[in-house]
Amino acid sequence: MGKRFVTIFPFCQDVHLTKDVGQIPFFLYKLFGYNSVIVSYRNNEIYNNLNGEVKGLKLDFIENKGRVSFLEKSVLKYIHKNAREIDILGLYHFSKFTFVYGILYKFLNPKGFLLIKLDAYNKTFSEENEVKHSTQKVKNTLFKILERRFLKKFDLLSIENSDGLELFKKKYPQTSDKLIYLPVGVNDLFIVNAFRNRIRDYNEKENIILTVGRIGEYVKNHEMILRALTKTNMKDWKMVFVGPVNESFMNYYNKLCGEYPQLKSIITFTGEIKDRVELYEWYNRSKIFCMTSWNESFSNAISEAFYFGNYIIGTEGVMSMKDITDGGKYGTSLKADNDKALADTIQKLIDNESTLSVLYPEIVSFSHKHFTWSQIIGKLHQQIEDKTTHA
């Protein structure tokens, strides 16, 4: 039996299994033989992805017994009972919860390996920002003491974008030898098996601009797309929104259609798509992926769209844009309040589609090399091996 890798994520839902929470332990299990387990409350009646994208991954359900102060009682109990049998403990976020759980684990199992994954926004660790864990001065002082102790205890901490990595190094230089850039990938093993020879060449794709997510949620800034489309000659192109749609957003859309009736003929709302193959087929059909978030650390949807060769249009609030577009080579980054820039970018791509067809094979090659879990996870495994071997 391989190393026992336990991820504690008490609020894990089925959807998290297709994200980093599920993919990291799954790929460590699948490719390197780890004994991977996610510890969580039962937050869904059925976890369909256990028989799909992460087949073979184990979930260990614990009973939710409430909190003591800000801490989950059942998590504390689990760590206290099982710490010595956990070779590697995976925790998420740079927070007071993680500090306590991580310090407790290392106290009970000093030889254990503490792995932390961040999806924090870069501004959190910017030079001018003070990282606070409470609005109350006394509590924040106590949490900063915990933070300093935690920084000495963790063995490896990953950050999803390269700029964020550099900011963290500057903020906490004493940790620089324990940090790793670890982007969000796609489950290429599942896609290859599900699609076989059905991944489309560029000339088989459709004239579709795609966005995927919780449509109309404030942070996603999807209204920007609608406004930009009123300024764009879409010709024979369509805009497709995939995901559950917020009622207020539909009201906004309907009001805009009163002024710009052409929108109804170029926009499609699919609603929520839970079937992963059906979702991936939309990426397979589309040529451009658009994400207009005010703030986004690293979106799974961008990695998925990129895998299928989509050119990426994103806003500066999407902190992975520089990495995933190779510094702007495979996508365009613009301000989240500049509707005209978005309209101009879309128009330029529609009018000069040869740009997309030329870039398509490069995007596929680049994405498969840098943003698939089978490639990413090897780097994480090697870091764990190196640090445990030379500990």
Q: What pLDDT does residue 391 have?
A: 61
Among 3.30.70.100, 3.40.50.2000, 3.40.50.720, 3.30.1330.10, name the CATH number for the domain at 188-370.
3.40.50.2000
Q: Report whether pLDDT(283) > 80.
A: yes
Query: How big is the chain, counted in residues?
Result: 391
What is the spatial distance between Cα 17 and Cα 37, in angstroms, rounded to a whole number?
Answer: 12
pLDDT band at 128; cut points 50, 70, 90:
confident
Average model confidence (pLDDT) across the chain: 96
3-state DSSP assignment of residue 331: strand
3-state DSSP assignment of residue 262: coil
Percentage of the chain surpassing pLDDT 70? 99
The model carries a pTM of 0.96
Q: What pLDDT does residue 120 have?
A: 64
Q: What pLDDT does residue 215 have?
A: 98
What is the spatial distance between Cα 180 and Cα 156, in angstroms, rounded to a whole number?
Answer: 7
List Cβ neighbours of 87 (8 Å cut-off, separation of 6 or more): 3, 4, 5, 112, 113
Q: Say which amino acid occupies 159.
A: I
pLDDT band at 299; cut points 50, 70, 90:
confident
List Cβ neighbours of 213 (8 Å cut-off, separation of 6 or more): 220, 242, 243, 291, 299, 301
The full DSSP string for 57-117 is: -EEEE-----EETTEEHHHHHHHHHHGGG-SEEEEESSSHHHHHHHHHHHHH-TTSEEEEE
Q: What angle do CA 160, 310, 188 make, to 5 degrees?
A: 60
Q: Report whether pLDDT(137) > 90.
A: yes
Among 3.40.50.970, 3.40.50.2000, 1.10.3720.10, 3.40.640.10, name the CATH number for the domain at 4-185+372-389.
3.40.50.2000
Burial of 266-289, coded b for 16+ CB within 10 Å and e otherwise, reads: bbeebeebeebeebbbbbbbbbbb
pLDDT digit string, tens, across residues 232-271 = 999 999 999 999 999 999 999 999 999 999 999 999 999 9
Cβ proximity of 306 and 370 under 8 Å: no
For the chain, the structural domain boundaries read 4-185+372-389, 188-370
**4-185+372-389 and 188-370 have identical folds:** yes
Q: What pLDDT does residue 97 have?
A: 96
Q: Report whether pLDDT(124) > 90.
A: no
pLDDT band at 211; cut points 50, 70, 90:
very high
What is the spatial distance between Cα 329 and Cα 95, in angstroms, rounded to a whole number?
Answer: 35
Query: Averaged over 38-51, what is the pLDDT?
Result: 97
Query: Averaged over 338-362, what is the pLDDT?
Result: 98
Q: What pLDDT does residue 294 have?
A: 96
